[in-house]
Amino acid sequence: MVFGWGKKKQDQIPVEDIPKDKKISLSNVPQIVTELTQLRESQAISEIKILRKNTSPLIDELTNIGQMLEKDNLSVDDIDKHLAIIVVRGKKQVIDIIKKGVTKIPEISSIDDAQKLDSTLNQILKKVGDVLGRQTRVIHIFAKKYAAQLKNNLEVMNKNHSEIHQILNNFEKTQSSSNQIHSLLEQIKTLQETRIKNEKKIRETKDNTNSLEEKISSIENSIKEIKSSENYKKYLELKKSLNDFSKQRLKIKNEIDAQFTKISRPLSRYEYASSLDKDQQSILSQLNADPFKILLPKNKDSIIVILENVRKAVSSESISVKDVGKTLSLITETEEALDVFLKQVDEYHKKYESLEGDLKSLKPKDLVSFEQDLEKNISSKEDALHRLKTAEIDIKEIDAKIPQIIRQIEEKLKQFSSARYIIDPS
C-alpha cells in the first residue's frame, strides 16, 4: 500500500453574470487597472489568510503526531529483532523529518508573504510526503493509529496548499495582464507623441514647401528674363559660332597629323637615340604624340633643329629606314609645310581666344548662379515632399495601430472584471 492522500477535486466554476458594457475613456484605464489589481490583490490576500488560518493548526497537529510517535515504541519488543531494526529506523526517519522539516508558517500581510507561505508549505509537504512514501509499510502496519491521522492531516494541508497556489497563480496572471496593459498604454502614448511630432513636421514641411515654390518661381522668372534678353540671344549665337569654329581644329589637326605620320618612323627612332636638352626632348615627344599642340611660333626653331638632326641621322644611316631618299624628301616636305601649319595653328588659337573672350563678356553673370540656386531649391523641394509623404504614411499607420492596441486592452480588462469595458480613444 502506498502512503498518500487523495487528489483535489476540480473546483466548480461559478457562472458569471452576463458582462455589462462600461464605456470609459483611454485616460481612465490606468486608474481602473490599478484599482482592479489592488482589489484582486486584497481578495487574494484575504482568501490566503483564511487558508493559512486553517492550515496553522494542521502544522501543530503534525508536530504533535511526531512527538507522540517518538514516545511510542510501537511494540517492537514483540516482533522479530531484524524487523524491529527496520521499524525503529523508519520511525526515526519520520520523526526526524517532522522535527526538522515541519516549521511554523509565516503570517500573511502581502503577496510576498503569501508566496513565502506557498513555498514553505510546498517544502513541508514534499519532505513529509517523501519520507512517508518510503516508510509507508512501517506506518501502516506498525503505526496504524498514526497513519489515518497523518493521511487526513496531509490531505487537508495539500488541499489548502493547492488552493493557495492556485490563488497566487491567478493573481500572477492578473499582475501579468496589468503589466501588459500598462505596456500597451505606453505604446499608445509613444504613438500619440510620434503622431504629434509628425503633424508638426507636416505643418513645417508644407510651409517650407510653399516657401521653396515661391523661390523656385522667382528664380525661374529671373532666368526667363535673362534668356529673353537681346544680350543672351547674342551670347547663344556667339556660342554656336565658337562651337562651329572648334571644328576647324580637327581639320587642321588631321592635315598636320597626316604630314608628320609620313616621317613618324625616323622621328620615333630619333626620340630614343637622341641626346637633346630637356625642352627639345619634350617638343620631340609631342611631335610624335600630337604635333598640333606643339606647333607654335615660339617652338619653330627647335622643331627645325629636330627635323635637321633627323635628316642627318637618316643620311648617316644612324637611323635605319627602307628608302633613305624618300625619307629625306618627306622631311624636306614637312619643313616646307611647317610655316603654313604654324600660321594655321596660330590663327586658329587667336581666333578661338578672341571668340572665347567675346563669349565671356556676353555671358550673363547671374545666370549660372540662378541655375545653381534653381537646382538646389528643386532638390530641397523634392526632399521636403518626400518627408511630407513619409510623415503622412506614419500618421496613417499610427491611426490604424492605436485602435488595434485599444482592442487588446479591452480584452485584457475582461480578465479583471465581469464588466466589458469599451474604451473611447479620445
For the chain, the domains span 21-177, 230-363
DSSP state letters, 347-402:
HHHHHHHHHHHHHHHHS-TTHHHHHHHHHHHHHHHHHHHHHHHHHHHHHHHHHHHH
DSSP letter (8 states) at residue 297: G
Provide the residue type at 425 as one letter.
Answer: P
* CA geometry: angle 332, 338, 340, nearest 5 deg: 125
Q: May I ask the CATH architecture of the domain 21-177?
A: Up-down Bundle (1.20)
Question: Hey, how many other C-beta atoms are within 10 angstroms of the C-beta on 339?
Answer: 11
The Cα–Cα gap between 191 and 270 comes to: 82
Residues contacting residue 33 through CB under 8 Å, at least 6 positions apart? 178, 181, 182, 413, 416
The Cα–Cα gap between 78 and 74 comes to: 9
Cβ proximity of 412 and 33 under 8 Å: no
The Cα–Cα gap between 287 and 257 comes to: 9
Residue 134 has which C-alpha cell?
Answer: 518510503
Q: Which pLDDT score, from 0 to 100, does residue 273 have?
A: 65
- Between the alpha carbon of residue 114 and those of residues 34, 45, 122, 164, 175, the distances in Å are 20, 7, 12, 8, 15
DSSP state letters, 184-246:
HHHHHHHHHHHHHHHHHHHHHHHHHHHHHHHHHHHHHHHHHHHHTSHHHHHHHHHHHHHHHHH
Assign 108 to helix, strand or coil. Answer: coil
Provide the residue type at 292 as one letter.
Answer: F
pTM metric for this prediction = 0.60
- Between the alpha carbon of residue 1 and those of residues 92, 140, 141, 147, 150, the distances in Å are 20, 8, 10, 12, 15
Q: Which pLDDT score, from 0 to 100, does residue 14 have?
A: 47
* CA geometry: angle 207, 213, 217, nearest 5 deg: 150
The Cα–Cα gap between 239 and 231 comes to: 12
Residue 177 has which C-alpha cell?
Answer: 495582464
The whole-number mean pLDDT for each consecutive block of 10 residues of the chain, a chain of 426 residues, reads 43 49 89 91 95 92 82 65 70 80 91 94 89 73 74 91 95 91 95 96 95 94 88 86 85 91 86 73 87 90 89 86 88 91 91 85 83 94 95 95 94 82 85
Residues contacting residue 256 through CB under 8 Å, at least 6 positions apart? 291, 292, 295, 341, 345
Secondary structure of the chain: what % helix, strand, coil (to 5)?
80, 0, 15
CA nearest to 133, candidates 162, 99, 90: 90
- Between the alpha carbon of residue 171 and those of residues 39, 55, 165, 176, 416, the distances in Å are 10, 21, 10, 8, 10
Q: How many residues does the chain have?
A: 426
Provide the residue type at 37 as one letter.
Answer: T
- Between the alpha carbon of residue 338 and those of residues 256, 295, 334, the distances in Å are 9, 8, 6
Question: Hey, how many other C-beta atoms are within 10 angstroms of the C-beta on 423?
Answer: 21
**What's the burial of 220, exposed, middle or buried (CB within 10 Å: 0-12/13-18/19+)?**
middle
Cβ proximity of 301 and 324 under 8 Å: no
Residue 228 has which C-alpha cell?
Answer: 529673353
